[in-house]
Copies of this chain bind each other. A is one copy, B any other.
């Protein structure tokens, strides 16, 4: 079993979808990644920052999932990062209503001493300089560094982003972001260009259309489970990344073949995340439920072709 370092936000979200709206609830990239990865019973730490307004019950929840929280700094007189967004009817696009950086503005991540030798580092969506700061604190180059990012950083910090992309093994990115980063419409060509930027593995997330894994000339396509209803897509991408990283930490096998399974696990966990608002569904998820859904994924995609 490998140790996992997760960096990202631990935050408040307020979400509005066609199905309802929430007050300030638990959110943040590191939260979703951590909750998802915790299903593999691995040794993982969250590196993040919160304000004095962050409720103990949220920390208790994360701790109850055996996540190490010694890397979460509390700024007593600061306020926790807050994001608010509203999803459109198709659930694929959203408007950001509020972004309050608060304690995130001066966040200097500190990797706990006991995790500086972790084999896997998951760089959740944050300023690329913060992501690089985490890599710089590791005792040695981790076996696998995975980076998630978004269009926002391409717009305002492209050079820093390209620098950290050069130093990671895997990038997870959505289709529109892959197109923006490369200027290429074809995802095959976009993935090739991202390979050339550094990462050996490129995961392109396509929401309800699934996810693609590219490695050299190989490609794997995991569809998303067709769902009756998506209540809230918030955190689905981070949940995917947490499942991906958690599975690889658990199995200690970073071959392309095993990474396919990591994509399937990531997709499986993400399919739960969207069933309820916020982290609710991820807070109470059993191994039995996960295994049953994995079998659904198998039924969904596996076939025995007969050549005519």
Q: Does A219 contact B (CB under 8 A)?
A: yes
Task: Please give, as numbers and ranges, the residues of chain B lying within 8 Å of A218 by CB-CB distance.
Answer: 299
Distance in angstroms from A191 CB to nearest chain B CB is: 8
Task: Please give, as numbers and ranges, the residues of chain B lying within 8 Å of A276 by CB-CB distance.
Answer: none
The contact string, 1 if C-beta is below 8 Å from chain B, for chain A 202-233, is 00001001101000001111110011111000
Task: Please give, as numbers and ranges, the residues of chain B lying within 8 Å of A298 by CB-CB distance.
Answer: 305
Task: Please give, as numbers and ranges, the residues of chain B lying within 8 Å of A294 by CB-CB distance.
Answer: 305, 307
User: Judging by beta carbons under 8 Å apart, are B185 and A89 in contact?
Assistant: yes
Q: Does A115 contact B (CB under 8 A)?
A: no
Known: A185-B89, A251-B308, A264-B305. A221 touches B226 (CB 8 A): yes
**Could you tell me the dominant secondary structure of chain A's interface residues?**
mixed
Task: Please give, as numbers and ranges, the residues of chain B lying within 8 Å of A155 by CB-CB distance.
Answer: none
Instruction: State the CA gap A260–B189 with chains docked (Å).
Output: 29
Instruction: State the CA gap A221–B303 with chains docked (Å).
Output: 10
The contact string, 1 if C-beta is below 8 Å from chain B, for chain A 122-145, is 000000000000000000000000
Partner of A220, one of B227, B265, B303: B303
Partner of A264, one of B40, B186, B189, B303: B303
Q: Which residues of A contact B (CB under 8 A)?
A: 40, 89-91, 185-189, 206, 209-210, 212, 218-223, 226-230, 247, 250-251, 257, 260-261, 264-265, 291, 294, 297-308
Pick 9 A–B contacts, CB within 8 A, sort by A: A40-B308, A91-B185, A186-B228, A188-B228, A212-B226, A219-B300, A221-B226, A251-B308, A264-B303
